[in-house]
Chain A
Amino acid sequence: MPNEKTAATKSINCLACGAPITLRALGASVMVACPSCGTQIDVSKPEIQVIKKYNATAREFDLALGSRGVLRGKPFEIIGAMVRSSEDGSWTEYLLFNPLIGFRWLVQDRSHWSFAQTIKDISAIKPNYLGLHYDNRDFRKYAVGNAVVESVIGEFYWRVKVGDKAETIDYIAPPWLLSREKTGAELIWSLLVYLDPAEIQAAFKIQPQPRDDVAAHQPCAATETLSSLKRYIWAALGLALLLQMATVITARNQQIPIGIYTPSASHGQEAVFGPVHLDATHSLNELTAATSLSNSWVDLDYALVRKGTGESYEFSNSVEFYSGVDSDGAWSEGSNLGSSLVPAIPAGDYDVVVDSASGDAHGAPSQTPIQLSLTHNVAPWQNFWIACAVILIYPVFLIYRRFVFERERWSDSAFNPYHTKKEE
């Protein structure tokens, strides 16, 4: 069968003002609105005819009819454009055409751009607890409005006219937005995806305006970073926990009694206990002072002195306990238990040298004996908590950023889940 000659775009002259008009989607489009005067012309039949005459002044659009750009990997040509408005302002919808794909939309709402497609299989849109479920995503209701066509130029696949009204509902799952438009009995669903300014710049060689607010379906950078980091964060926390568990399991927790110590009134009267044998290398040890004193205090200074080398590891703790009765009833404060963690002790035999100062309510030294004991080779937890904190600093920062971003996103919505509606 013979092939026909190459198909070309067709040029006509506006039947009202005579301006030249290029038809770029002949056969697929049914009408063209003259870019110069707005007159609507029926182009669906070989004999073009006026649908409705207008004498509008040409309106400027950021992108010209006939411009081409590659969006999401496919080239499209702008064949029509319309400005629509609602209670929340106005926006521009460009009709895109590729004869080997069909129609798509490019939506410009101030400095925000979206790429859109009407949904043929609307039975795939299902209500759920959040709003709607479509294409494995959950959409939340964001806005309800009434859209009106303010101006229109170029080709369209239906007879668009100024003043056409639609009831709209938007649902979001950033970067996606599901748009429901109802005009009379006709219901049209579209899926929009938010385009990064760099994408629109690369596609149509224009410099998009800087963004000064958050669009309904604008993706949150912090959310995206968080989700890409999530696996590493969990891996790091898991590794820290694993190391800590290994440390806990291998810790000996060996109980070594040291002796009974009676405090002195002031420093300078050392008592020596031991020696104690510590056989784990480079161990963490906990020295505990337990007593039963009342209304007095004891400050204890210790030194672990290694036999043979004389290396000394010094640390201190204290016990104090007060109690009494006043108008509120019985009270007490302080503790009869003092403890110190002593890190990085080499294996060896050690003398435990104890010195102290003490006093009671009358300034006399405490006479209550103190039981000293040492737990050799305990598991340290501090490093683990520090590691967790360090791992979580950036995620917590990102979660905060996400909160700020989402609060701004929803601040314009009547369905704001953050309940931070601006005061009227």
Chain B
Amino acid sequence: MESVGRVAAVPDDFSPLQLGVTGQFADRHFNIVGRLAKVWEEGSWNEWCVMFDDQRFGWLGEAQGDLVMTFDTPSAAQGGVPHKDQAALAEPGTNWRLDGKPFTVTDVKQVSCQGAEGELAEVFAPGEEVLCVDLKGSGLEFATVEYRRASVKAYVGRFVEFADCRFANLRQLDGWGAKA
């Protein structure tokens, strides 16, 4: 784990999430400890680094109104995901298998980090461009495969509803009460 303080400026946004927010996932309690502000050609989103009470990390992706909780899953990354050159050309709708389960490619894009804060399970090197493949599985399953310079990482998890996370200590939003 690395403490980054604040790297570059995390951009202004209107998110109710912030460092120090607590929440629940699958009946397990977590804390938001860090944030990566990611950006691609046509947009940006937050990856909140969360720490569960058993010291395990997870990533709570907050993108375009959706929340996704994923976990670094080495077995999925080693389980025969396509080579980076192939992945870069993957069309949406292509079927992949991660950890023996079927997934469908929804999005392929070059991603970099525009800012970070707090404590992070891992960091992007400044200016590093990462090939990022988003996939949907059955039900609410979701995965992202990241092709770094020297490694491949797979983050596997699922969509979550804001209300189901039972967040506490949310950021005040001008014009909006604390409850949806």
State whether the Cβ of B28 lies closer than 8 Å to any Cβ in chain A: no
B9: A residues at CB distance < 8 A: 46
Contact A3 B13 (CB under 8 A): no
Chain A: minimal CB distance from B22 (Å)? 11
Q: Most chain-B CB neighbours within 10 Å: which of A4, A29, A44?
A: A44
B25 contacts partner chain A, Cβ-Cβ < 8 Å: no
* Inter-chain contact A99/B16, CB cutoff 8 Å: yes
Q: Is A102 an interface residue (CB 8 A)?
A: yes
Given A46-B114, A100-B162, the answer on whether A27 and B44 have CB atoms closer than 8 Å is yes
Q: Given B91, B140, B173, which contacts A6 in the complex, CB threshold below 8 Å?
A: B173
Contact partners of A42 in chain B: CB under 8 A: 42
Asked if A99 contacts B176 (CB within 8 A), the reply is yes
Give the interface segment out of A7-15, A244-252, A253-261: A7-15
Q: Which of A6, A46, A157, A186 is the one whose CB lies under 8 Å from B12?
A: A46
Interface residues of A in 62-94 (CB under 8 A from B): 74-75
Chain B residues within 8 Å of A99, by CB: 14-16, 173, 176
Given A4-B171, A10-B12: A30 and B64 interface contact (C-beta under 8 Å) = yes
Q: Is the CB of A101 within 8 A of B42?
A: no
Question: What are the interface flags for A44-70 relative to B under an 8 Å C-beta threshold, 1 for contact and 0 otherwise?
Answer: 111000000000000000000000000
The verdict on B74 contacting chain A, using a C-beta distance below 8 Å, is no
Q: A111-148: contact bitstring with B at CB < 8 Å (1 yes, 0 no)?
A: 00000000011011000000000000000000000000
- Cα-based distance from A100 to B67 in the complex (angstroms): 11
Question: Which listed residue (A2, A45, A103) contacts B11, Cβ 8 A?
Answer: A45
**Segment 62-97 of B: residues with Cβ below 8 Å from A:** 62-67, 91-93
Task: Classify the interface of chain A: helix, strand, loop or mixed.
Answer: loop
* In contact, A7 and B171 (Cβ under 8 angstroms): yes
Q: Is A159 interfacial (CB 8 A cutoff)?
A: yes
Q: Is B15's CB under 8 angstroms from A28's CB?
A: yes
Asked if B180 CB lies within 8 Å of chain A CBs, one says yes
B65 touches A103 (CB 8 A): yes
Q: Which of B11, B159, B179 has the most CB of A within 10 A?
A: B11
Kindly list chain B residues whose C-beta atoms are within 8 Å of the C-beta of A26.
Answer: 12-14
Contacts of B20 in A (CB 8 A): 1-3
Whether A7 pairs with B14 at a CB distance below 8 angstroms is yes
User: Contacts of B106 on A, CB cut-off 8 Å?
Assistant: 186
- A376–B43 Cα gap in the complex (Å)? 91
Q: Are B43 and A30 in contact (CB under 8 A)?
A: yes
- A340 vs B19: C-alpha distance when bound (angstroms): 92
Instruction: Mark contacts of A1-45 with chain B using CB atoms, 8 A cut-off: 1 yes-contact digit, 0 otherwise.
Output: 111101111100000000000011111111100000000001011
Q: Please give the distance in Å from B2's CB to the nearest CB on chain A.
A: 16
Q: B13 and A100: CB pair below 8 A?
A: no
Q: Does B174 contact A (CB under 8 A)?
A: yes
Mark interface residues in B123-151 (1 if CB within 8 Å of A CB, else 0). 00000000000000011100000000000
List the A side residues contacting B92 at CB < 8 Å. 184-186
Q: Are B64 and A24 in contact (CB under 8 A)?
A: no
> A358 CB to closest chain B CB, in angstroms?
86
With the chains together, A88 CA to B14 CA distance in Å?
38
* Nearest B residue (CB) for A98: B180
Tell me the count of chain A residues lying within 8 A, CB to CB, of chain B. Answer: 41
Q: How far is the CA of A167 from the CA of B97 in the complex (A)?
A: 29
> Chain A residues with Cβ under 8 A from B19's Cβ?
1-2, 4
With A46-B12, A157-B64, A159-B42 given, is the CB distance from A6 to B176 under 8 Å? no
Shortest distance from the beta carbon of A254 to any chain B beta carbon, whole Å: 71
When distances are taken between beta carbons in the complex, the residues of chain A under 8 Å from B64 are 28-30, 103, 157-158
In the assembled complex, B18 has its CB within 8 A of some CB on chain A? yes
User: Which one of A74, A120, A185 lies within 8 Å of B91 (CB-CB)?
Assistant: A185
When distances are taken between beta carbons in the complex, the residues of chain B under 8 Å from A45 are 11, 39, 44, 114
Q: How far is the CA of A27 from the CA of B45 in the complex (A)?
A: 6
Given contacts A30-B42, A99-B16, contact A121 B140 (CB under 8 A): yes
A297 at the interface (CB under 8 A from B): no
Q: How far is the CA of A121 from the CA of B174 in the complex (A)?
A: 32
Expressed in whole angstroms, the Cα–Cα distance for A75 and B67 within the complex equals: 19
Point out the residues of chain B lying under 8 angstroms from A8, CB to CB: 174
A31 to B64 Cα, complex, angstroms: 11
> Which B residues, 160 to 180, have Cβ-Cβ distances below 8 Å to chain A?
162-163, 169-176, 179-180
Verify B93–A27 contact, CB threshold 8 A. no
B147 to chain A, nearest CB (A): 20
Interface contact A28-B65, CB-CB below 8 Å: yes
Measured between alpha carbons, how far is A42 from B43 in the docked complex, in Å? 8
CB of B106 to closest CB in A, whole Å: 8
Give the residues from 104 to 123 in chain B that come closer than 8 angstroms, CB to CB, to chain A.
106, 114, 118
Q: Does A97 contact B (CB under 8 A)?
A: yes
Give the complex CA separation of A46 and B42 in angstroms. Answer: 13
CB neighbours of B118 from chain A (8 A): 1
- Name B residues whose Cβ lies closer than 8 Å to a Cβ of A: 9, 11-16, 18-20, 39, 42-46, 62-67, 91-93, 106, 114, 118, 138-140, 159, 162-163, 169-176, 179-180
Q: List 5 A-B contacts (CB under 8 A).
A: A27-B15, A27-B44, A102-B162, A120-B66, A158-B42
* Chain A residues within 8 Å of B, Cβ to Cβ: 1-4, 6-10, 23-31, 42, 44-46, 74-75, 97-103, 120-121, 123-124, 157-159, 184-186
Known: A3-B169, A4-B171, A99-B16. 5 other contacts (CB 8 A): A6-B173, A46-B11, A75-B180, A101-B163, A102-B65
